[in-house]
Each structure stands twice: as C-alpha cells, then as structure tokens.
Amino acid sequence: MHILIIGAGGMIGRKLAATLGRSGFLGGDTITRMTLVDVTLPPVPADISVPAEALAADISESDAAAALAAGRADVIFHLAAIVSGEAERNFDLGYRVNLDGTRALLEAIRREGSRQAYVPRFVFSSSIAVYGAPFPDPIPDDYVLAPLTSYGVQKAISELLLADYSRRGFVDGIGIRLPTIVIRPGAPNAAASGFFSGILREPLAGQRAVLPVEETVKHWLASPRSAVSFLIHAATLDTASLGVRRTLTMPGVAATVADQIDALRRAAGPEAADLIDRRRDEVIEEIVAGWPKSFTPQRAAQLGFTAESSVDELIEVYLAEDAPGASR
C-alpha cells in the first residue's frame, strides 16, 4: 500500500506520518511506502519502518497535482490548508490553496484514472468552520452549511467537490470536519483559534498567555491524538455506509474558556491560571462569535469515531505526548 500525505509538514501531518510509519500498517494492509508532501520540504519522521520520500510541491499548480496523482497512491490524506485567520487576512492565498488546490488535486486524480482505472481512498480534512451563526446548540448532523468566514466557505465548497467526485466514481472520498485541536504543541500558528491552545500550553510551561475573548466563549475541541485517530479510521472505513453525504462532523469536547481555565487549575494549580492575560481582540472576537459551540455527531459515533470527553483529558494527552519532556 502506498500512502500519500499532503500537508505532511503540519502538526497533524507529521503525527499521522509518524504513526503510520512506525506501525507499518493501515487497517489490515501493509504500508510499502509513503510520500510526504508540503509546500516546503516536510520532515521524514525518525524511527519509522516504512520507506518514505519527502517532496516540496504546491498542489494549486496543476503540474504539481498531476505529478502527485501519477504516483497512484492507494490512500491520499489531504490535510494541506491555509488556516482560518490567515485565510481571512489573505483572501487570494486562502482561495488559491484551500479551494483551487483541492480542485486541482481532485481533477488530476480524475485525469489519471481516465488513462487507466484508478480510484484512491481520498481522506479530506475539513472544518467545523463550514457552519455559521445563527445555529442551534448543539448542532445536529443535518444542519445547513452557512459559513461566515472565507476559510469556512473554502472548506464547504471542497466538501461539495468531494461528494461529487465520489458520486461520479473518480475518488472514494470521505471528509472529516475536525474540531479545534487542543492542545497544539510548539509555537502558535496563524489560526484565529490558536488561543484555545495557548491559554493552556503556555501556562503549563510557566509562561504567560493572552486570552483575546470572554471566558463565556464555548467551542468544540479534540486532541491531536484524536485527530490522527479520526484520519486513520476514515481511511479504513467502509464508505458504502456514507451514501452521498461524504463528510462527517467529528466528536469532541464542548467547553467554555472558563472550563479550560478550571481544568488548568486542576492540572497545574492556581498560579498557572494567573499567567493568563485578558486582552480583548475585536477581530478574533468577531471571528469566534460566528463559530459553532457544540455538536451531536451521531453519524460519526455510529461509525466508530471517538474522542476525549473533558478538557482534563485534553491536558493529559498533551502532558503525555507533546509537552516539553514528554515521553512521546
């Protein structure tokens, strides 16, 4: 089995490559090689048992997409994206990468299959940003997609493309709407949601963090460990059970910022919570105000997707796997 990971330089992509490369299996199949792709050369994880090649490519360029499709990977994980805050600040870049890149990749696969039969499993990383206010709390599986950010629009259109290319038999697609990932390791990124990780990650390391919104803000969260688990489960799922609705909302933890701070106190004491500086940011407040708060992801649960059930668990995963000095 040949695995292609696009967006392999990102945090989730690196973790996915390491997990698959160390196990050597996806479902019941042996992974014989992996191709790791990002716009800049992604790292090859250490201590993996699977041969892996790293490539730098921009999938929004048709020649690059065609070259990747010609590799005829059995499973393609499409994780590459310009994140929410950056997509809002840079309209052209967001559409070029998040929408044009996805369309170029799907079209390259279709053209490759027209020469000789080729229908790969295509796992697409979408987002809960496809929903926009006003909405119920929680949001059911069948609720309308009405995004209020450019990033959300780009992901929603890509979900429709995934469904249509799957309906036409060009790919065997499945999309997963990821919760906001908490706690993200390393340095903050440009995502508007970055503070959800920052108000936990930095105080746990004895550093100050900025909270740009009110503590009443509520959001849908899951760990990096769960994100990788979602992707692997999606790659091995019998997609016949999906019908024409090819994208699923993933399970997660519905928590307010106050819930996060309470969990931080339990994990690291009141002195950790004292390291959070309240500093309102109206731009971030406006973006976050249009985001979902919680879901009832019944379809995903019925199909075997699982996640954490509390912020305490999210912190435990971070301390075990991603905090400085963690064993993994």
**Catalytic annotation, residues:** 151
Token pair listed for 193: 């949601």
- Give the position of tokens 């997707």: 305
Name the residue among 39, 41, 21, 38 with its Cα closest to residue 30: 21
C-alpha pair distances (Å), 183 with each of 65, 255, 302, 312? 32, 13, 26, 11
Q: Position 271: which residue type?
A: E
User: Which two three-digit tokens encode residue 282?
Assistant: 């109206």
95-129 b/e with 16+ CB inside 10 Å = b? bbbbbbbbbbbbbbbbbbbeeeebbbbbbbbbbbb
Q: What share of the chain is helix, strand, coil (3-state, %, to 5)?
A: 45, 20, 40
Read off φ and ψ for residue 4, nearest 5 degrees. -115, 125
Phi and psi, residue 62, nearest 5° = -60, -35
